[in-house]
Structure 1
């Protein structure tokens, strides 16, 4: 994997293709690395990989990436390698809120494939096997998170906070990337909004805010609130912040629900704790 030196418009924490990045070899190092590997009997360069970032709506950076990868393929073959694979990474964004406007999966694939074919033909290269990483675009829309509404705090002429029984431990993206989501009530998904609230979690952290300026119908404690498009980078990034157990995960298909990850119990959070012998008799 190498850094292609391509900028894209996304959050700075999920840009990976610009030069000042911890990911991949620097492009100026690529020839040196490939030359070194050519002299290693144990090494076989099967493919080349670059990734420009995540949650990207533009297609132009992926067109640029095709040319960069094709040039790297020319270099690798000139140095005696025979890579058969080019991996363009992923990065295709999804619609979290109404203002998001990502390309379709089919449209993105067409742009990437056509750009790679053109780049290879310009360089008289045999077409490689083309790989991509479509993770978020497939998984995120397939998942939702269900929260139970708890307390409410209304500050006249300033803000209304609605708290739920989860938050930054099961979804760290809002506090990490200022990510936005769409939400509705489970039993009234199409109900007209009557107020604008700030949806907050139950953690001891002022930054534990899931959604700001969220339009909702009137809610009561015990209502179930659905946050959409949480299938990616939620459960996989969850933690036990504040010693909060992780929620269960349920697979729903064809009218059937199946438990695929059971809810953690509070006592399970202590399973790796060890009390030193010298403290066992204290008190």
Structure 2
């Protein structure tokens, strides 16, 4: 496993893979790795000849007052986790390497999709995400890039970005990995106190309870209101958003013909948590739509 701290180092290592005709799978992260990240690495290893992972806490996706300064930075522990995985390259640049003070400022923005869900409550967040991921794609030139379904709004933004910029990267989305009690794994879970950790379990349970009620003929506006009411009533929760939207546009839907994303964000104490369930149409016979729900996605 080769660790690269500069763009030049990474590109030299990438060139070796290119000359040998190997495909590259990329897993972009901000570090503080957990089993969710490792599942992405394993998916990449199963589909590509080599795997690269990036570890970079991106300052441009944090707004003033957010947790950039206290975001967990566990680089040595991250490397120890990766040693047993099939990772060829680790790219861990400094902020100055990614955003040189002398370089002109360039911003990648997907303004419409990027202003929905998390983008509505964190203005500018997805502009920072799109900018850094675009730079990482240009630096690493992967064949495929792997992201978790937990970050559903981010996935929608990045898919739109790749289409708009004609970026030759196949964006792969992998199921959300959950703890044994159902809570989606997140680097920010470590912020939770023991009580808050217990309270947080209501998030996936409420999403699942609403998903179980959805049928092709459901009143989605009513279910959206029910989702919000249940989250508002949950002990310890402050609701950010509750939504039933199109998985790609993130706009509210009135029909399930193209599936649905049931998504929510809440604050538990000072910690913001997100989760979602995707409903995918799998069959249509005699005008009757069948749905499948990925509760653990």
Q: Which one scores higher on RCO, CA 8 angstroms, separation ≥ 6?
A: 2
Q: How does the TM-score come out when normalised to structure 2?
A: 0.24
Select the structure of larger CA radius of gyration: 1
